[in-house]
Amino acid sequence: MNRKKQLLEESIIIDLSNKLININSIKKILITSRKILSNIDIPLSHINVINNNDSSVFSPGNPTFFINALHDFGKSNKVNLKLKDIFNQEIKKSKVLRLLLQKKKKILAAGHIKNHENLMILNFDMIFKDLYKSNIIFKEIIDTYSYKYLLKKLKLKYYLLIPIYDINKVIAYISIIGSKKDKSLNTHDIDRLISIRNIISTSIINLKYKQILIERNTILKKKNTEIKKIQEYERKKISTIIHD
């Protein structure tokens, strides 16, 4: 990597860290992260928020080769494909998402990608079968056109699910989906994505602790007010007794 590109990446990560530190909602943290991630040379597909029973597309990614291929596939086959529909999965039916929830700091990956100590490598067959079971739209497409046909049309190269977590659980994830036209990801790219994920997660954890402290301070202030009222009542009571 040349020095100019390295400096650009470092400045983007510093910018991300600086901008997230004072944000006071998880939603705003994810929105800001999405904007900054768009400046990095990665095929960002979407950011999903995990609810109790499903994962919903919170923020669409860039118009990547994969997204364009998905759009073209839908158009040529008269299928109305929307990002929020195709990547909205039922967790109870998705082994992949349940695995992501269990492995809080691991990145789930599939396709042509170099191994890394923080990667849990799957295969596209597992990903597609999982989408088939957990997404109605995807099931309809596979039933009509088959896995092989869709894989050929979308020209997938790799697939990453990067978990974002708070104090004790995964709350969202970033999807990086590369096509044959996207550059291959190396060890440095994975390390960079982990750094970005850690910055986002740390910001959310700090926000949670801040909210806990504010809540506790509010409770303490309320208790102090009650104690002062009791003390004032007792003082007046004693004063009345003395004067009587």
Could you give the CA distance from residue 156 to residue 65 in angstroms, rounded to a whole number? 9
Nearest alpha-carbon partner for 193 in 87, 36, 59, 66: 36
| For residues 161-183, average pLDDT | 90
Q: Please give the mean pLDDT across all residues of the chain.
A: 85
User: 51: pLDDT confidence band, cut at 50, 70 and 90?
Assistant: confident
pLDDT score recorded for residue 77: 83
Beta-sheet pairing, 119-121 with 107-111: parallel
pLDDT of residue 2: 67
Please tell me the predicted confidence (pLDDT) of residue 69.
87
**How do the domains of the chain map onto residue ranges?**
3-208
- Contacts of residue 49, defined as CB under 8 A and 6 or more positions apart, other chains included, come to 30, 55, 56, 58, 171, 172
Task: Please give the pLDDT value at position 11.
Answer: 82
Segment 183-242, tens digit of pLDDT: 888 888 898 899 999 999 999 999 988 888 888 888 888 888 778 777 777 777 777 776
Asked if 134 contacts 73 with a C-beta cutoff of 8 angstroms, the reply is: no
- Of the pLDDT bands very low, low, confident and very high (cuts 50, 70, 90), residue 13 is confident
Query: Is the separation of the CB atoms in 133 and 140 below 8 Å?
Result: no
Helix axes 124-134, 147-154, angle to 10 degrees: 110
Residues of the chain with pLDDT > 70, as a percent, come to 97
Residues 41 and 189 sit within 8 Å (Cβ to Cβ):
no
Specify the CATH number of the domain 3-208: 3.30.450.40
* Ordered alpha helix ranges (H), the chain: 3-20, 26-37, 65-76, 83-86, 95-102, 124-134, 136-145, 147-154, 187-243
Distance of CA 150 to the CA centre of its chain: 26
Give the model's pLDDT for residue 1. Answer: 58
Residues 60-88, mean pLDDT to the nearest whole number: 84
Separation in Å, CA 36 to CA 39, 97, 119: 6, 25, 23
What is the strand order of the sheet 54-60 is part of?
Answer: 89-90, 54-60, 44-50, 170-179, 156-165, 107-111, 119-121
Nearest-angstrom CA–CA distance, 71 and 92? 28
Q: Confidence band (pLDDT; 50, 70, 90) for 119?
A: very high
Q: Do residues 97 and 134 make contact, with C-beta atoms less than 8 angstroms apart?
A: yes
